[in-house]
Structure 1
Amino acid sequence: MISVVIPVHNEEKNIEPLFREIVAALEPLGEPFEVLFVNDGSTDGTAEVLRRLKERDSRVRVLTMDRNRGEAAALTAGFFHARGEIVASMDGDGQNDPAYLPEMIRRLREGGYAVVSGWRMKRKEPLLTRRLPSWIANRIIGLVTGLRVHDNGCSLKVYRAEVVKRVQIPHGFHRFIPAIFGVKNHEVAEVRILDRPRRFGRTHYGLKRTFEVLRELLTIRFVLGNRVFYEKALLAGGLISGLLAVISLLSSHRPFWAPGAFLGGSFLFFFVWHNLRRFNQAQKEGVFHVRELEI
């Protein structure tokens, strides 16, 4: 079976056209599939559209989050509830074209890959607020994680099911898929896809996401290593830097830059420690609470 996971937040006008495209793309494969819509705290008519869609087609499954928890939690919920041995993900705004799914599924199976990732061409988004920050972020993410994927931000991806059930993804860390799943360079293939403009509704992205990317970039190397050891080491480093800052402030013989340097160092240690601790807590407690709609 093939599972398609789609987080949606206030996408009432995009859902039905997108579902029709998914059906048109997957039915010719002649194998069973399901489409999991994860309603992430929508406040428009999304819930009603999903209910009507499920009434008409048994291949539709609807997971309803207890509140708006963000794309990372919604993806995790869909991944952990998916029944297929192949799991695809895509955005609910219609910018990802489902017509590429058959080719991506074929590449996954024939090449023995863990993931096949979309690589958006001719993006239909503003240069300064979306495309340029994305280009910079992708290069930095590749350098930091060692996984050279051209378009980490593209939600159109196809995975082997066991890959996506390895990690609970906290808010913000979905930008590091598939590195966060422990995938290596030889396990990833990319398929060039044409980007489409959003058909209805308003984008949920903006420059404020840049801060989140930077925050997670400071933490991701520790996430990919021994997380528990690094959490303790970062806490110890922060405490030592803070202690040195206090000693420097009390000392009459100190370089003028020392207090600021120690305070800045302790802030950085604690900032990264807090983010890594958030990731570790997510693995213990989970990041989603959902109920499945039954008709």
Structure 2
Amino acid sequence: MNISVVIPLLNEKDSLNELHDWIANVMQSNHFSYEIIFIDDGSTDGSWQTIEALSQKNNAVKGIRFFKNYGKSQALHAGFLETQGNVIITMDADLQDNPEEIPGLYKMISDEGYDLVSGWKKKRYDSVIAKNLPSKLFNWAARKTSGVKLNDFNCGLKAYNKEVVKSINVYGEMHRYIPVLAKNEGFSNIGEKIVQHQARKYGKTKFGMERFINGFLDLISIWFLSKFGKRPMHFFGALGALMFFIGFCFAMYLGIDKLFINPEGRLITQRPQFYIALVTMIIGTQFFVAGFLGEIILRSKEDKDRYKIDKKINL
């Protein structure tokens, strides 16, 4: 199979028929063998019934339905597990991503050898204040933190070699930083393609201030995990040892001062340096123990399902 199109969605009933027909026309005109996997992330507007109807009309349509809303990252993860195509395309269900871009993205993966190609919505039709400016800030911070030189991390229209989606683990709200996750797994041939962005035709945007804040928190998390996720002792152990050493030096100074320099002076317990030394050594020890616990958890953890699937279609 040439292409798997993975489409996570939440309450996008009005756009699904038009999106399906558009994708099918592009695939047929380019003679691609394909599948379309819709992941219903807890919709309450009848989106699942629309997916069921589309699957009756087109055997290439497949569906996954979550019991409730778990988030876009979980939806993508579930879709990636089911893909069978050599190239995987992800796109949003709101018709803001143009299916006409699929052949170009496919060529960059299959012919030019990219591991991942991210769309770049250079000209956007979103609200400047509500989404455009936050996206620019996100992208700047992500470039500086990750070293991945992309202009639009947030674009839902991306193409992947099948090895990429089978290797990465998308969780939390890390879908924004899939290129960074791919880089951390060793897939360094990451490209970018300017794609057409379209104004939303139906429904309303799911973007809000909560997603803006969560995006930055996830960026900090992915930076930390990329550097210390597989060796937590290197971070917590080094920080703990440093703090314990500083506290120990304070304690040694106090002891030498009391015994040899100023034996008639105040008791050690009456000096503020004593409490600084004590607290610093305690915190240093706690950090060191946290490093050990992190190593133990890392070696004994078991993956648990982060979502619960209600129904599947053609899978």
Q: Which residue of 1 aligns with 2:227?
A: 225
The amino acid across from 2:218 in the alignment is E
Q: Which residue of 1 aligns with 2:308?
A: 289
Q: CA contact under 8 A between 1:36 and 1:63: conserved in structure 2?
A: yes
CA distance in 1, matches of 2:241, 2:77: 34
Q: SS of the residue aligned with 2:119? A: strand
Of residues 195, 206, 209 in structure 1, which corresponds to 2:208?
206
CA distance in 2, matches of 1:100, 1:281: 43
- 1:252 CA drift (Å): 5.6
CA distance in 1, matches of 2:300, 2:173: 15
Q: CA contact under 8 A between 2:173 and 2:218: conserved in structure 1?
A: yes
Q: Which residue of 2 aligns with 1:269?
A: none
Q: Which residue of 2 aligns with 1:82?
A: 83
CA distance in 1, matches of 2:300, 2:203: 34
- Tell me: CA distance 1:280–1:29, structure 2 relative to 1, closer, same or farther (3 Å): farther
The amino acid across from 1:220 in the alignment is I
- 1:279 CA drift (Å): 11
- 1:288 CA drift (Å): 3.3
CA distance in 1, matches of 2:166, 2:149: 22
- 1:207 CA drift (Å): 2.1
Q: SS of the residue aligned with 2:121? A: strand
Q: CA contact under 8 A between 1:36 and 1:78: conserved in structure 2?
A: yes
Q: CA contact under 8 A between 2:108 and 2:117: conserved in structure 1?
A: yes
Q: Which residue of 2 aligns with 1:197?
A: 199
CA distance in 1, matches of 2:111, 2:170: 28
- 1:230 CA drift (Å): 2.0
CA distance in 2, matches of 1:156, 1:211: 22
- Tell me: CA distance 1:280–1:214, structure 2 relative to 1, closer, same or farther (3 Å): farther
Q: Which residue of 2 aligns with 1:41?
A: 42
Q: CA contact under 8 A between 1:38 and 1:74: conserved in structure 2?
A: yes
* 1:81-104 Cα distance to aligned partner (Å, 9 max, x none): 111111110001110001000011
- Tell me: CA distance 1:219–1:100, structure 2 relative to 1, closer, same or farther (3 Å): same
Q: CA contact under 8 A between 1:8 and 1:37: conserved in structure 2?
A: yes
For structure 2, the residue ranges without an aligned partner over 5 or more in a row are 248-268, 285-296
For structure 1, the residue ranges without an aligned partner over 5 or more in a row are 266-277
Structure showing greater Rg:
2
Equivalent positions of 1:118-157 (< 5 A) are: 118-157=119-158
Q: SS of the residue aligned with 2:303? A: helix
The amino acid across from 2:229 in the alignment is R
Q: SS of the residue aligned with 1:284? A: coil
Percent identical among aligned pairs is 27
CA distance in 2, matches of 1:176, 1:204: 18
TM-score normalised according to structure 1 size: 0.83
CA distance in 2, matches of 1:199, 1:282: 44
* 1:28-53 Cα distance to aligned partner (Å, 9 max, x none): 22131000000001111101111111
- Tell me: CA distance 1:112–1:44, structure 2 relative to 1, closer, same or farther (3 Å): same
CA distance in 2, matches of 1:26, 1:251: 79
Q: CA contact under 8 A between 1:114 and 1:163: conserved in structure 2?
A: yes
Aligned length: 290
Q: Which residue of 2 aligns with 1:177?
A: 178
CA distance in 1, matches of 2:144, 2:44: 39
TM-score normalised according to structure 2 size: 0.78
- 1:237 CA drift (Å): 5.2
The amino acid across from 1:224 in the alignment is S
